[in-house]
């Protein structure tokens, strides 16, 4: 007996601004791959940053996605409605003694990492110096109780030791052409932030929890997130979550070769729509073939 395996894709925008051509490419590629494999397409709103995400952006994103011809399942998962699930995962990491409250301010981090040879993470930020990694628990608790600002960080060395060597499957290619079985290199990130004082999660934690909860089999996203995949793989291993397959795609760039940002008008979908472009025009602009009809079953 053959068991049918349904692939599940997701497009996961952060509703902190309107969509541009780069998002359109990612969303359409997810839609095309889901359709070609007779799989499912989910949309997830990554709105944990409640100060920057707004309902009106969410509404305009969904409107743009429908205009592009995408067809996704309801309901749309909104991360801001699932803080409990992320808090549970954080608690599990705490129980494994793999996270610690870190108290250094930005200025203190800067001061401790002035040495030009200090390692930088793949985003270019200095690796956290970890001066408070081994604070006695009573002192950490007292500081938290006194109202000090803090963030929960992963004890990266201990986490790697517990997880052992890890790899993930890359079906696209990373920024340096990595494809196939790729060795995860989470150590490059140092003690990453796993949750904040006000928000009991981070991008890394919520993305792995949600991909697992939603049964995502295929993560298709921009290659700017390729280095973060190593952290995701590590968290999946620690939390006993399944590993999706990854496909990182090239980024759509502006004429100067710069990555598009949400504030740029010219490549915004709203502007293109207002100037009379069609969804097929957008597909052409981002280099995708014309839309295919849904395969008949
Ligand atoms: N929310 C992320 C973004 O808008 C994408 C996360 C992901 O696809 O894993 O850049």
Average pLDDT, the chain: 94
Segment 25-47 mean pLDDT: 98
CA of 12 relative to ligand 1 center, distance in Å:
5
If DSSP codes are grouped into helix, strand and coil, which group holds residue 10?
strand
Residues lining ligand 1, CB < 6 A?
12-14, 46, 207, 221, 225
Q: For 89-115, what is the HEC assignment? A: HHHHHHHCCCEEEECCCHHHHHHHCCC
Confirm if 40 and 54 have CB atoms less than 8 A apart: no
Pick the atom of ligand 1 nearest to 46's CA.
Answer: 1
**Could you give the count of Cα atoms lying within 13 Å of 97 in the half-sphere of its Cβ?**
8
CA of 247 relative to ligand 1 center, distance in Å:
13
pLDDT, one tens digit per residue, over 241-296 is 999 999 999 998 877 777 776 655 657 898 999 999 999 999 999 999 999 876 55
Confirm if 65 and 58 have CB atoms less than 8 A apart: no
pTM: 0.94
Query: Residue 90 carries which DSSP code?
Result: H
Segment 37-50 mean pLDDT: 97
CB count in 10 Å sphere of residue 267 = 20
CA of 184 relative to ligand 1 center, distance in Å:
19
């Amino acid at each position: 007996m053959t068991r049918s395996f349904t692939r599940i894709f997701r497009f996961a925008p952060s509703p902190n601004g309107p969509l541009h051509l780069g998002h359109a490419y990612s969303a359409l590629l997810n839609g095309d791959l889901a359709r070609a494999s007779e799989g499912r397409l989910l949309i997830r709103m990554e709105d944990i940053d409640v100060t920057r995400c707004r309902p009106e952006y969410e509404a305009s994103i969904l409107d743009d996605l429908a205009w592009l011809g995408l067809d996704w399942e309801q309901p749309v998962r909104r991360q801001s409605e699932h803080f409990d699930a992320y808090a549970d995962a954080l608690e599990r990491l705490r129980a494994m003694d793999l996270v610690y409250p870190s108290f250094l301010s930005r200025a203190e981090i800067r001061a401790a990492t002035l040495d030009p040879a200090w390692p930088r993470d793949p985003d270019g930020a200095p690796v956290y110096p970890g001066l408070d990694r081994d604070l006695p628990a009573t002192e950490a608790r007292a500081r938290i109780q006194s109202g000090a600002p803090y963030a929960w960080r992963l004890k990266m060395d201990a986490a790697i030791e517990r997880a052992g060597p890890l790899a993930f499957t890359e079906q696209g290619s990373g920024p340096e052409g990595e494809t196939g079985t790729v060795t995860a290199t989470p150590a490059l990130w140092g003690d990453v932030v796993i949750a904040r004082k006000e928000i009991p999660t981070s991008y890394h934690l919520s993305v792995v929890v949600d991909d697992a909860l939603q049964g995502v089999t295929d993560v298709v996203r921009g290659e700017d997130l390729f280095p973060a995949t190593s952290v995701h793989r590590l968290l999946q291993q620690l939390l006993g979550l399944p590993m999706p397959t990854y496909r990182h795609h090239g980024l759509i760039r502006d004429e100067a070769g710069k990555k598009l940002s949400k504030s740029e008008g010219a490549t915004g979908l709203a502007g293109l729509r207002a100037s009379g472009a069609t969804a097929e025009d957008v597909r052409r602009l981002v280099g995708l073939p014309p839309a295919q009809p849904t395969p008949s079953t």
